[in-house]
Structure 1
Amino acid sequence: MSTMLEDRVTQNQPTHGTRLQAETTAARLHIRWPGTRKSLSRDQKLQAAGAFDADSRTLSAAKRLFDTSHPSFRAVSAIKSKASALWKGMTLPYIEPGVRLLRRGDVSEFDDRMIVIQVELSDAVDELDLSFAELVDQARNQLGHLFDPADYPDSVSDLFGITWDFPSVTPPAYLRTVNPQLYEQECQRVKAKFAEAVELAEQTFAEELSQLVGHLAERLSGSVDGKPKVFRDSAIANLNEFFGRFQHLNIGSNDDLNQLVENARQVITGVDPQDLRDRSSLRERVARSLTEVETSLDELMTDRPRRNIIRGPR
């Protein structure tokens, strides 16, 4: 009797994939960005090949249109990186290209922060636009005969953009009425995708933690020229950032992974970077404990190898 009751309770409990689907929404980031390199023309490739007595068909050559290390362009690129980091940092991976899963309770915060980044990009592009004539003049001097004024617009203000949306990853509701059987098939397909997304999230978390603890353990172990290896405070800050993100995004689908994350957190809780530099015994203890976590993570990932997720055409 009790077994039958337990079976019914288990069947009624949502799977981790079902929970993930219920608690998240799809989020997609779109970045519009101009190319900074351009392939040489056929005649230019022939000329380049002739300089080396080479067959032009075996030569691949491109010119850099302008100096991407210019402060104004670097400022724009930094905002692009900021947008990507925010999108990835607030979301879990999904098996469809370009789509990630955002907790529904985080939608407003994500939208607000992306709007701020969008404004920052607009201001930075305006600054780049003011400097663009300088960049073109510089390119004219650097490229010589390869310079082509047709490669450069009068303004770059419309060439950059960051937008985002929340695409549906569930079957359309109308399908339930039009073709109930097909609707059910699509529901099962989506369910399977979210089950795979759970595994993908676990693998991603495990790999990231393994890299973080492995890096810090390596920096804390041994010495160079008789002196302890140098490590940055960010090695610990990155771990603490990971713990916060894991706690917020994790759906508790893997007890072993949860325990290893907790083990790593306990190792560095209350540890001051300067203490690690000053106290060799503390360095050794922390390095040893982190290495144990890394080994356990490697075993966990070996036991559950990365799925070969087949994606459809983009």
Structure 2
Amino acid sequence: MTTMLDDPPTQAPDPGKHLRSEMAAMRLSYTWFGTRRALSAEQKTQAANTFHAESKYLSAGKKLIDTSDPSFRAVTSVKTQATSYFKGVSLPYPEPGIRLVPQNTLDDIDAKMRGFTEELADAVSELDSRFDDLKFEARDRLGDLYNEADYPPSLEGLFEIAWDFPSVEPPEYLRRLNPKLYEAECDRVKARFDEAVSLAEAAFTEELGRLVEHLSERLTGADDGKPKVFRDSAIENFTEFFDRFQRLNIRSNQDLDEVVESAKSVLGGVRPQQLRDNDRLRSQIASGLSSVQSSLDSLMVDRPRRNILRRSK
């Protein structure tokens, strides 16, 4: 499937308008069984007396089950994967819980989320089969703090993934009922998408900066100047970043595009083992990354001015 980013890499004349026309708002949410409970007033008083403290100044809770159990970790792993995937295919938007995804990827995203839903259902079913054992273990560990009423009869339906595509556009009925208010809402939405452009630029800049800083430190050494051992992910993370930037970049900042291209030229085709085996290559890559970092620093300094100029257009 082609994406909106397969066009020639020319800078969008109005990045906010381009973003608004090509992206859809998406919200990801979870229903999640809480594994902690606050102590009762009586239990807090008892705990406070142990430390000769006043109960109203004490905050205390208990863990209902062992969250390090493999069956529970399998459930939380699905949530982690779903969240990571959502962030990887979307751009930030200045409303809590909402991000922007390319409109022409909605089918793929929906299918992927349905896959996570199925994985979660399987993991919860396995956890539920262990639930009685986990409660028995909790009874031993919690002692007098154990309360059977804290536990549901089953965990089925208590862990869920949900997603929707809320409208962030002014409602059409407002145009008929109150044209002035509708215009004001249009201005507000335009400002939101202009801000989303700035957020996207900042997110890409900061992520690339972290990757460059980490790999540079691995190659040159932070304290003693000696190269440090690094994982393959130190290189693989760059590949993932370049791919995501290609898919989601809205061509709003030519300087950022050029910095990313510079980073790609420095690391293009380099494999982790090559850096481990070749000191000269390590030095070359470290030097190239230093130049990329300098360019990123300039972007960070210049970004507030770019934002002011964009808002004034």
**Fold match, TM over 0.5?**
yes
Residue 61 of structure 1 and its aligned partner are, at CA, apart by 1.1
Structure 1 match to 2:43: 44
1:118 aligns with 2:121: no
Gaps of 5+ in 1: 1-12, 309-314
Cα distance between partner residues in 1 of 2:13 and 2:228: 48
Structure 2 match to 1:175: 174
Report Cα offsets for 1:141-185 as digits up to 9, x if no partner.
001111111111110011110010000000111222222222111
Distance 1:18 1:225, change over 3 A: closer
Residue 222 of structure 1 and its aligned partner are, at CA, apart by 3.0
Cα distance between partner residues in 1 of 2:84 and 2:21: 24
- The equivalences for 1:80-229 within 5 A come to 80-222=79-221, 228-229=227-228
Cα distance between partner residues in 2 of 1:50 and 1:280: 63
Residue 30 of structure 1 and its aligned partner are, at CA, apart by 1.2
Tell whether the 8 Å contact from 2:32 to 2:159 is kept in structure 1 after alignment: yes
Tell whether the 8 Å contact from 1:94 to 1:200 is kept in structure 2 after alignment: yes
1:258 aligns with 2:257: yes
Structure 2 match to 1:298: 297
Tell whether the 8 Å contact from 2:220 to 2:226 is kept in structure 1 after alignment: no
Residue 227 of structure 1 and its aligned partner are, at CA, apart by 6.2
Q: Which moved more, 1:13-22 or 1:267-276?
A: 13-22
Report Cα offsets for 1:71-104 as digits up to 9, x if no partner.
1100000000111111111100000000000100
Report Cα offsets for 1:112-139 as digits up to 9, x if no partner.
1101111111111111100011110010
1:32 aligns with 2:31: yes
Report Cα offsets for 1:221-255 as digits up to 9, x if no partner.
13888963110001110111000000110011001
Structure 1 match to 2:238: 239
Cα distance between partner residues in 1 of 2:145 and 2:165: 43
Tell whether the 8 Å contact from 2:30 to 2:159 is kept in structure 1 after alignment: yes
Tell whether the 8 Å contact from 1:16 to 1:253 is kept in structure 2 after alignment: yes
Q: Which amino acid aligns with 1:304?
A: R
Q: Which moved more, 1:236-245 or 1:175-184?
A: 175-184
Greater relative contact order: 1 or 2 (C-alpha under 8 angstroms, separation 6 or more)? Answer: 2
Identical counterparts, % of pairs: 56
Gaps of 5+ in 2: 1-11, 308-313
Distance 1:23 1:283, change over 3 A: same
Structure 1 match to 2:7: none
SS at match of 2:163: strand
Tell whether the 8 Å contact from 1:17 to 1:191 is kept in structure 2 after alignment: yes
Query: What's the TM-score once normalised by structure 1's chain length?
Result: 0.90
Structure 2 match to 1:312: none
Distance 1:212 1:97, change over 3 A: same
CA RMSD of superposed structures (Å): 1.9
SS at match of 2:29: strand
Residue 281 of structure 1 and its aligned partner are, at CA, apart by 1.2
Cα distance between partner residues in 2 of 1:51 and 1:185: 60
Residue 305 of structure 1 and its aligned partner are, at CA, apart by 4.0
Tell whether the 8 Å contact from 1:203 to 1:306 is kept in structure 2 after alignment: no
Cα distance between partner residues in 1 of 2:58 and 2:272: 51
Cα distance between partner residues in 1 of 2:223 and 2:298: 30
1:273 aligns with 2:272: yes
SS at match of 2:91: strand
Q: Which amino acid aligns with 1:54?
A: A
Report Cα offsets for 1:184-221 as digits up to 9, x if no partner.
11111111110111011000110011001110110111
Cα distance between partner residues in 1 of 2:17 and 2:226: 52
Q: Which amino acid aligns with 1:126?
A: S
Q: Which amino acid aligns with 2:233?
A: S
SS at match of 1:304: helix
Q: Which amino acid aligns with 1:231?
A: F
Tell whether the 8 Å contact from 2:26 to 2:99 is kept in structure 1 after alignment: yes
Residue 70 of structure 1 and its aligned partner are, at CA, apart by 0.5
Residue 14 of structure 1 and its aligned partner are, at CA, apart by 5.2
Tell whether the 8 Å contact from 1:220 to 1:287 is kept in structure 2 after alignment: yes
SS at match of 2:152: coil
Distance 1:267 1:15, change over 3 A: same
Residue 296 of structure 1 and its aligned partner are, at CA, apart by 2.0
